Chains A and B, each alone.
Chain A
Amino acid sequence: MTVSLRVLDDGAWVSVNDAREVSVSELWRLDDPSFCGCDLPDFVVENVLSVGVDGRTVTANVYGQCIGCGETGVPGWVPVGRLSDGKFVDIDRENTVLPVYDGDDR
């Protein structure tokens, strides 16, 4: 089954199958001390740069900043949802510690 994944409206959204699913302005806890030195960077999503898929996991590459220390940048790929029978299944991104994968691990 083909799934359509794209970034929309100049980086405002991750679109899955022509439905806007993940928005900028979300606050994510990232399991990625390498991003800024904080144990769990408290990361505001300011722009979605690209979207990908790893098996059934939808991942996004985003720009933003850690509100704990102010570091800005692009962490690795962050899981934002899952695909089940070709449909997007949301995860509670704002209340979950999200792993971060680098490009090769994805």
Chain B
Amino acid sequence: MPTDVERWKSEVYGTEIREHLFRFAEEGWDAIPEDERDAWFERFKWWGLYHQRNGQESYFMLRIGTPNGRLEPGQLRVVGEVAKEYATGPGTNPIFGDAYADFTTRQSIQLHWIKLEDVPAIFEKLEAHGLSAQQACGDSWRNIVGNPMAGDDATEVIDAWPVIQELNETFKGNDDHSNLPRKWKVSVTGTPDGSGQGDINDLALEPAYKEIDGEEQVGFNVRVGGGLARNEPRLARDIDVWVAPEDAAAVAGGLSALFRDHGDRENRYNARIKFLVDEWGTEKLRETLQEDYVDFELETAGDDLRDQYTYNAGGEGRNDLLGVHEQKDGSNFVGLNVLVGRMGADDVIQLADLAEQYGSGAARLTQRQNVIVPDIPDGELDDFLAEDLLEHYSPEPSPFMRGSVACTGTEFCSLSIVETKNRQVRFARWLKENVDLPEGVEEFHIHLSGCTASCAQPQIADVSLRGMKTRKDGEPVEALDIGLGGGLGEEPQFARWVTQRVPVDEVPGAIENLLANFDDQRDGTETFREFVLRHDDDELADLVEPEETSYEDPMMHNTKRTWYPYAEDDELDASPAPSLADGTPITSDD
């Protein structure tokens, strides 16, 4: 039997949702019939709007998809201005204030507290500047990720940007691919550092060499069926296909169509293509692609560059894109740390000013929730680096700041079990003040995800934190599972969950003790991942010693049972939602 979501999609889905969205925006929140809300909220996702959680009714998260994290000159300013004008609501965040933009692990931008009534004006402004929320959520081609410096990065072996552009233009608003069984996440990379993180995508195109008619060509190897969600993490699997850049859209479209036709539409938990790859195996997948979905002979896989991958790998070489790096044209790109990816709207606008003053006005977003300012000439570099704003958004931050990634959490998200972003800021600040890394360890990644959806990509961090509950002194408190030793690179591996349900106030102490034990028992200069690899789970659990410290956590209680965890009166009954366009609470007729 088809699911409710499939039924709703069969009635209205894709580009046509927009006219309904604008009609509701014109008529106001109450115009959405109560018995149709679930259906419309599901459909709105296709246009990037996600209804916020219980207690925040009538407010939406808006996701703007920026292909490859690429913001053309002027676009960063537009993001800041939209956030400043529209992304404010009844709740004020104690760390970030009102009006901020979140840079996500898929190189997109999320704004919160968006009112339905403001959507047409927001879309008009975004679209006038080449930005869009189309297919940012929902069951379709999502924002395509990769190395955000494609085309400019001096290390790349092939420019992935034209391929990403072609895929984006072909599969956004394409009726044949707009209603898939589930989301479709694609990564295309042309650098040898692995910074596209293809392994955790539904479809990965990774740089590879292939001899064609006696000549070596650069193109992409194809992997399918990666993903982290729902306690079922998978690495994308090699389907033994190499594709030339000019054929990439045909192969990617063939695979998307195969997923459309063969994915599971009866069970959303089993719908992602990773499960189809599990069921079929890579040979059958390749055969079906060849026979039914492409009209030319597929090449076998070429020679990849995976032995050079360093991104988020925990070893030598660049693990992220922070700091100063050379571009092909001799200018520089500078990666800046945005702690947990959240930046105040005024800071976004100020950074846009700096990008125009020192660079081309362009900006880039990375999969580690950071921002890059490209196109800075050598002669301008020192002055740029001396700007006050870079004291906060540093190109060379503390490793604990640099390594922090966090999802949205219970502040806004329905699925999360715990508070995340503010907590990870508190963790990072405490660790920076109180803990030293062993000698020679420059990078240490800690990812905090509020639930098993894994939006913070916890399984590919040195220390993986995942939201849970426990009891402390008999009282229910927010807790975290702790996993160790995850990362990508030539030998990608997922973290091993060695310690469960640690009360959140004991987690910084656990990390402090773990690092002390690593320092004591480290074999020479081995990396943390190597250290984890040579221990079994029980040994590792003994090295994680949860402990209360000077760290205090003000959000131990069930933050999900509040309308907004930072409100003075946070009880669900005190929620001002739903509200009219101007924020006035709508009183119930009951």
Contacts and interface: CB of A to CB of B under 8 A. Distances in A.
B414 A18 contact: no
21 contacts: A6-B4, A8-B42, A9-B415, A12-B53, A13-B54, A13-B414, A17-B35, A19-B34, A20-B53, A20-B414, A23-B54, A24-B451, A25-B418, A25-B469, A25-B558, A27-B558, A44-B469, A46-B417, A65-B468, A67-B471, A67-B479
A17 B417 CA distance: 24
A90 to B, nearest CB: 11
Nearest to A67: B470
B560 A23 contact: yes
Interface string A4-45: 101011111101011110011111000000000000001010
A49 B268 CA distance: 10
A99 interface: no
Contacts of B319: none
B36 interface: yes
Contacts of B560: 23, 25-26
Interface in B345-364: none
Interface string B190-222: 000000000000000000000000000000000
B38 A49 contact: no
Contacts of B470: 67
Nearest to A18: B37
Given A17-B34, A18-B36, A25-B558, A12 B471 contact: no
B269 A11 contact: yes
B501 A70 contact: yes
A48 B250 CA distance: 38
A4 B560 CA distance: 24
Contacts of B268: 10
A24 B417 CA distance: 7
A21 to B, nearest CB: 8
Contacts of B495: none
A67 B470 CA distance: 6
B101 interface: no
Contacts of B451: 24-25, 46
B38 A8 contact: yes
Contacts of B4: 6
Interface string B487-515: 00000000000001100000000000000
Contact of A67 (B36, B53, B230, B468): B468
A9 B35 contact: no
A25 B417 contact: yes
Interface in A58-106: 65, 67, 70, 94
A70 B416 CA distance: 19
Closest 10 CB pairs of A and B: A12-B414, A25-B417, A18-B37, A12-B415, A44-B469, A25-B560, A9-B414, A27-B476, A18-B38, A67-B470
B386 to A, nearest CB: 45
Interface string B126-163: 00000000000000000000000000000000000000
Nearest to B453: A10
A46 to B, nearest CB: 6
Contacts of B500: 70
Nearest to B231: A72
Given A23-B560, A67-B469, A44 B38 contact: no
> Which bracket fits the contact residues of B?
20 to 34
Given A10-B268, A67-B501, A70-B500, A44 B414 contact: no
B410 A25 contact: yes
Q: Which of A13, A19, A20, A25 is packed against the most chain B CB atoms within 10 Å?
A: A25
B458 to A, nearest CB: 14
B369 interface: no
B422 interface: no
A15 B558 contact: no
Contacts of A6: 4, 38
Contacts of A11: 269, 415
B269 A23 contact: no
Contacts of A24: 414-415, 417, 451
B471 A42 contact: yes
A100 to B, nearest CB: 19
A7 B269 CA distance: 12
A10 B50 CA distance: 12
Contacts of B424: none
B452 interface: yes
A10 B468 contact: no
A83 to B, nearest CB: 16
Given A12-B414, A13-B414, 4 more contacts: A6-B38, A9-B415, A10-B453, A27-B469
A10 B38 contact: no
B415 A44 contact: no
Contacts of B417: 24-25, 44, 46
A65 to B, nearest CB: 8
Nearest to A22: B54
B452 A46 contact: yes
A9 B269 CA distance: 11
Contacts of A9: 414-415
Nearest to B558: A25
Contacts of A49: 269
Nearest to A68: B471
Nearest to B413: A12
A16 to B, nearest CB: 10
B408 to A, nearest CB: 12
A25 B560 CA distance: 7
Interface string B395-415: 000000000000000100011
Interface in B415-455: 415-418, 451-453
